Amino acid sequence: MKKQLTKKANNASEKIEKLKAIKEEIINLKNSPLYDFRQKEGNLPVIGEGSHSASVMFIGEAPGANEAKQGRPFCGTAGKILDELLITAGFKREEVYVTNIVKDRPPGNRDPELAEIELYAPFLMRQINTIKPDFIITLGRFSGEYIMAQFNLKQAFTTIGKVHGTVFEGMAEYGKVKIIPMYHPASALYDRTNKEKLVKDFKKLKAYLQHK
Ligand code: URA
């Protein structure tokens, strides 16, 4: 028992160290095309937050204005919707891990560019391999496309409209991982049917987790 507890504690402190290293590297990522904008605006990079032993990890696109001011993912309008959806699925926010592919805010909330995704994505993959979630929920097209391709599921990601809510299985460094692409919560702000689809997918996720 003592041995087991020591192993758990060692794992936890190893995770903290790895996540700290990721954070430090991102803070000092001067070669990012978004670094100067971060400094000029007095913004913060948004690394991610939540449980280090989360079974479910949510991955969005990039921080918006509120997130970059606070250094926290999904703490603005889209975050309110995500919080509602988490309640729908029976999660407390602190039980899951929430992050983005791109860790700095793109100017004017434009879509992230490919070069930005490619620069920041290795940090995301390190976060995944540190936290080792059983489920990855991608929010929106950019994270859906990227993550599915990373797990050899590129062909399966046809359109978000077709694949949302579908459970795919990938192989991570640490073992099997289920990947479920979903619409981005912000899309619910301008399309009520997307909100309905998100609610349905989160309810499905809840049922899936209860019966796995
Ligand atoms: N949209 C995202 O994709 N991520 C955030 O953190 C906030 C809004």
Which of 81, 100, 104 is the best mutation target for the ligand 1 pocket, counting ligand atoms within 8 Å of the beta carbon and taking the most? Answer: 100
> What pLDDT, on a 0 to 100 scale, did the predictor assign at position 109?
85
> What pLDDT, on a 0 to 100 scale, did the predictor assign at position 212?
73
Residue 59 φ then ψ, to 5°? -125, 115
* Distance in angstroms (rounded) separating the CA atoms of residues 29 and 71: 15
Given the CA of residue 143, which atom of ligand 1 is nearest to it?
A: 3
Q: What is the 9 CA–ligand 1 centroid distance (Å)? A: 32
Q: What is the 85 CA–ligand 1 centroid distance (Å)? A: 14
Given the CA of residue 139, which atom of ligand 1 is nearest to it?
A: 3
Given the CA of residue 140, which atom of ligand 1 is nearest to it?
A: 3
Asked if residues 96 and 86 have their Cβ atoms less than 8 Å apart, the reply is yes
Q: Which residues, other chains included, contact 136 with Cβ-Cβ below 8 Å and sequence gap of 6+?
A: 56, 57, 59, 128, 147, 170, 177, 178, 179, 180
Q: Which residues have any ligand 1 atom within 6 Å of their CB?
A: 46, 60-64, 67, 73-74, 78, 100, 186
Mean pLDDT for the chain? 95
Chain segment 143-163, per-residue pLDDT in tens: 999 999 999 999 999 999 999
The pair of three-digit structure tokens given for residue 71, joined into one six-digit string: 């250094």
The pair of three-digit structure tokens given for residue 26, joined into one six-digit string: 């991102």
Global confidence as pTM = 0.95
Closest alpha carbon to 123 in 21, 11, 53, 31: 21
Given the CA of residue 73, which atom of ligand 1 is nearest to it?
A: 6
Given the CA of residue 184, which atom of ligand 1 is nearest to it?
A: 3
Chain segment 48-97, per-residue pLDDT in tens: 999 999 999 999 999 999 999 999 999 999 999 999 999 999 999 999 99
Residue 14 φ then ψ, to 5°? -65, -40
Poorest-confidence range of 4-13, 96-105, 110-119, 126-135?
A: 4-13
Q: What is the 17 CA–ligand 1 centroid distance (Å)? A: 25
Q: What is the 113 CA–ligand 1 centroid distance (Å)? A: 15
